[in-house]
Structure 1
């Protein structure tokens, strides 16, 4: 009943604010085409291609599987970590328990976005971009090591495949393109929808309450779509002393758009989302603090 009320409420809001809804959707579409698609698509295809190649090794040490997941998943931007971990769980390279923790740890914005866009264009200092990227990965690795401590021993976990999964004969590259297209459509849909929703709710809140438009717009867009939140924070708070740490907090929050992408992808491999939720809370609290310490 609550879901139905929320859906109808949003439909009414969109009907009452058609122009703003259109502007938000248009902004989300431009954001996806110009800022996300060129970086995300090639990396997802290559990652999927690599993961679909038949394994020639029967036994791979646990640390190498973890390292493979982290390197492939953490440096491609959202939601490549979820794609990588889910594929490795499906291939039985990871147990679901390990996959659930790695899903939380292999979750970071791409280096090109943090160093190139945030560091160079927003902070005006590429070194600050490197420091922010370091803070994100320090916090992620710490979370993984602490969470791993609470994993059951190997005897209590179904061991990740002593026999490699028998893959059907086919063309891994074409399969990678096919599955990558599904992920890209998912990313585009969530970015456009939540950008439009964020703009509509910003308009409603700013008209209903006497509050600063910049604060409201930045908060609402950051909750729904990370990149839009970063852009709004830049428009309204650029040059303030707290600006770099506000950007760090927004990147840690990620936004519902990215969280929905991760949930949909992870559910295809039946991976628990509980560690992911704790991982996001951990990141929101610690990334700005670690960045402040090394800034």
Structure 2
């Protein structure tokens, strides 16, 4: 089978999936509406208050011109990690993309930092997950520590292996930092674009996950709590966390389950990162490897810390 045949097959599968989902949404309008409402409420309650202020401040800082030309690599890496990984999804992708466009990061470095700076914000983990889900701020801090330990280990191991092969300190010459007259206004403009992207993906995938979980439960003898949590965790992390809380709060493994769901991130967040990173041509392979690493090691590290 040649490339043309593969392309046609892929196109046909896409069309079939889209029409299948359209029909499913038509057949279950109430369920789709309930899922969209739940996604919108979660976005407004759990994401927007924790995400928006930090995105604006991060973008504002990145828009201020840097007049120092020869900044050591470790300082550039530290800047990307602090601004990106502590801002929440998808601030890491926004930060790495902006620094790559400004000429502060090489393309190879940007791929690794895209994976390493991918972390939920401390306001979300401590404020929402720790306080409202776990009912314990200390447990939220421990989960946050596990996430950052896993990310830093991944970056250090990856960079050591890459430096054995080649030196990656060449900054792309095509990215030239320009002077921005009103950095705050530019930060507000770009932040609004990111927020709209986040809201769109969260609401859509929450609705999709709810419809699919309802369909699976109707067609098979599967517990609604299990099917809904699995479907929502795959598509939208925050909705998956909320579903797991509604159905599995009393289980002893509940904290580990939440750690797994947050490590998976969900298709919604992955789509946000892909759209943002694509604008700068950042390689995505390190990101996908980093996600597998996180799914494996974050729950393990969290278990030993807990």
Same fold (TM over 0.5): yes
Q: Per-residue deviation at 1:166? A: 3.9
Q: Per-residue deviation at 1:122? A: 2.1
Is residue 112 of structure 1 aligned with residue 123 of structure 2? yes
2:199 to 158, 171, 188: 188
In the alignment, what sits opposite 2:253? 242
In the alignment, what sits opposite 1:263? 274
* 1:115-161 deviation line (CA, Å, top 9, x unaligned): 12222222222211111111000000000001111325797546226
Q: Comparing 79-88 with 151-160, which one deviates more in the overlay?
A: 151-160
Q: Tell me if structure 2 keeps the 8 A contact 1:59–1:162.
A: no
In the alignment, what sits opposite 1:209? 220
SS at match of 1:151: helix
Q: How many residues align?
A: 295
Is residue 145 of structure 1 aligned with residue 156 of structure 2? yes
1:45-60, aligned counterparts within 5 Å?
Answer: 45-60=56-71
SS at match of 1:211: coil
Q: Tell me if structure 2 keeps the 8 A contact 1:55–1:164.
A: no
Aligned counterparts of 2:183 and 2:110: Cα–Cα separation in 1: 22
Is residue 20 of structure 1 aligned with residue 31 of structure 2? yes
Q: Tell me if structure 2 keeps the 8 A contact 1:191–1:257.
A: yes
* 1:76-119 deviation line (CA, Å, top 9, x unaligned): 11000000000001111001110000000001111111112222
Q: Tell me if structure 1 keeps the 8 A contact 2:63–2:180.
A: no
- Relative to the length of structure 1, the TM-score reads 0.96
1:165 to 167, 176, 180: 176
In the alignment, what sits opposite 1:10? 21
Q: Tell me if structure 1 keeps the 8 A contact 2:64–2:180.
A: no
Is residue 94 of structure 1 aligned with residue 129 of structure 2? no
In the alignment, what sits opposite 1:44? 55
Q: Tell me if structure 2 keeps the 8 A contact 1:28–1:195.
A: yes
- Relative to the length of structure 2, the TM-score reads 0.93
Q: Kindly report structure 1 stretches of 4+ aligned residues shifted beyond 4 Å.
A: 152-156, 161-164
Which stretches in structure 1 are left out of the alignment for 5+ residues?
A: none
Q: Tell me if structure 2 keeps the 8 A contact 1:136–1:287.
A: yes
Q: Per-residue deviation at 1:294? A: 1.0
Q: Per-residue deviation at 1:286? A: 0.6
* 1:200-234 deviation line (CA, Å, top 9, x unaligned): 00110000000111111111100011011001111
RMSD: 1.7
Which stretches in structure 2 are left out of the alignment for 5+ residues?
A: 1-11
Aligned counterparts of 2:296 and 2:164: Cα–Cα separation in 1: 29
SS at match of 1:150: helix
Aligned counterparts of 1:46 and 1:151: Cα–Cα separation in 2: 32
Q: Tell me if structure 2 keeps the 8 A contact 1:65–1:94.
A: yes
Aligned counterparts of 2:51 and 2:277: Cα–Cα separation in 1: 18
Q: Given the superposition, is the C-alpha separation of residues 60 and 8 from structure 1 closer, same or farther in structure 2, using an over 3 Å criterion?
A: same
Q: Per-residue deviation at 1:163? A: 11
